[in-house]
Structure 1
């Protein structure tokens, strides 16, 4: 193994890790949606891995096309920039729509009082909400079933910015094996980092008492997702 390949492999692992860690959009949407959608551990892990794979592979395919046809890196970066902007706005829009839907659902299910009158001219009231009573209805809600697909599409649109210019093109100058190895290292580290953060948060949040916020979980998830997109626009995360 050449010295250049060792350097590129190390760079791929480091960039993959820090690129994911410093980009909250790589994991916060899954943490938020797994909580609000009451996803199982298996479902959360599966969706995270699939979205991570789609995120990496979309840039890999674009990079391979560029390398095969001899396109300049600058031309591919224009495409990646457009994809990034599109994914960001879709993320913000999805978060806002989900937030609005979540708030409507929370307000509809807020605690309220019913008065009951009896024949002896007495009455009494009791307060309750419908969060638990109507769970069987909301489990089949279309918003929930479509959420994984929406996230998957967003992550396919979202580019891995450093992959093509910093890793794929330099590796391709040596051999196809170098290109494959460097790309695989970057992709594997990226997905493992996403999965590690999401799984840690999944178990961490499960031990935090959130009963009082239960009916706002969808709205909170939407706000978090939208804020992830806004942070990308403002800070380039």
Structure 2
């Protein structure tokens, strides 16, 4: 019982630490929520679903690996491969979104050359639409891309913690550790994204809205570069 208690404390601590130290766990949600003008509820929901996918994939791999008798070294190798893959996925997404941001910036400059009353009526109406109405189906695709990236993202510190209760043949212990780690990870993601979302809402970007997509893409790109080349 004492061992499970200590393991639970470790799971909660590591869930918090590995999330806080991994900016890829929250920065994409914060910057995209600002660029896309997502509401707090939508931002929190996207973060929650992505966090569940992130933790569940590692839990599933850990449980299946233990059930099949796969060694810890092999399971950690699988997680390492997933870590490299998610880094490249985040980098590719960041690069793509940066290009999209450049396109939006150039498009906004083109429209700003003419006074409002000289612009065609359909463009004037488009300019007054909420951001999500302007983006169309592309907005609906972005949350799914984030979700898929996070499903591929590993929780490297989780699987070693599952080994001890597995060695003790304690299914309850494994489930307890997985649940505590998941709650700590997802809870930290939600809290960090919420604070970032609310903080960014206090900053007025009205004069710089044309840059938001580009900035969001660059931040995500830097996160991907950090994972791939710097081992963040």
Q: Do both proteins adopt the same fold according to a TM-score greater than 0.5, normalized to the shorter chain?
A: yes
Q: Does the CA-based 8 Å contact 2:30-2:196 persist in structure 1?
A: yes
Q: Secondary structure at the residue paired with 2:204? A: coil
In structure 1, C-alpha distance between the alignment counterparts of 2:148 and 2:100, rounded to whole Å: 20
Unpaired runs of 5+ residues, structure 1, are: 117-124
Describe the superposition over 1:159-197 as per-residue Cα deviations: whole angstroms up to 9, x where unpaired. Answer: 0011102x1111222201111111100000000000000
Cα RMSD (Å) of the superposition? 2.1
In structure 1, C-alpha distance between the alignment counterparts of 2:131 and 2:226, rounded to whole Å: 34
Unpaired runs of 5+ residues, structure 2, are: none
Q: Does the CA-based 8 Å contact 1:8-1:171 persist in structure 2?
A: no
Aligned pairs for 1:18-57 within 5 A: 18-57=17-56
**1:84, distance to aligned residue in structure 2 (A):** 1.2
Q: Secondary structure at the residue paired with 2:114? A: strand
Distance verdict in 2 for CA 1:130–1:154, change over 3 Å: farther
The question of 1:89 aligning with 2:110 is answered no
* Other-structure match for 1:119: none
Higher percent of residues as helix? 2
Aligned pairs for 1:1-237 within 5 A: 2-110=1-109, 111-113=112-114, 133=127, 135=129, 139=133, 140-165=135-160, 167-174=161-168, 175-237=170-232
**1:132, distance to aligned residue in structure 2 (A):** 6.5
**1:210, distance to aligned residue in structure 2 (A):** 1.3
**1:43, distance to aligned residue in structure 2 (A):** 0.6
**1:234, distance to aligned residue in structure 2 (A):** 3.0
Q: Max radius of gyration: which structure?
A: 1
**1:134, distance to aligned residue in structure 2 (A):** 5.6
Distance verdict in 2 for CA 1:202–1:131, change over 3 Å: farther
**1:79, distance to aligned residue in structure 2 (A):** 1.3
Describe the superposition over 1:40-69 as per-residue Cα deviations: whole angstroms up to 9, x where unpaired. Answer: 111100000000000000000000111101
Q: Secondary structure at the residue paired with 1:109? A: helix
Higher percent of residues as strand? 1
TM-score (norm 2): 0.91
**1:13, distance to aligned residue in structure 2 (A):** 0.6
**1:130, distance to aligned residue in structure 2 (A):** 6.4
TM-score (norm 1): 0.89
Distance verdict in 2 for CA 1:70–1:199, change over 3 Å: same
Distance verdict in 2 for CA 1:132–1:215, change over 3 Å: farther
Query: What is the count of residue pairs matched by the alignment?
Result: 225
Q: Does the CA-based 8 Å contact 1:99-1:223 persist in structure 2?
A: yes
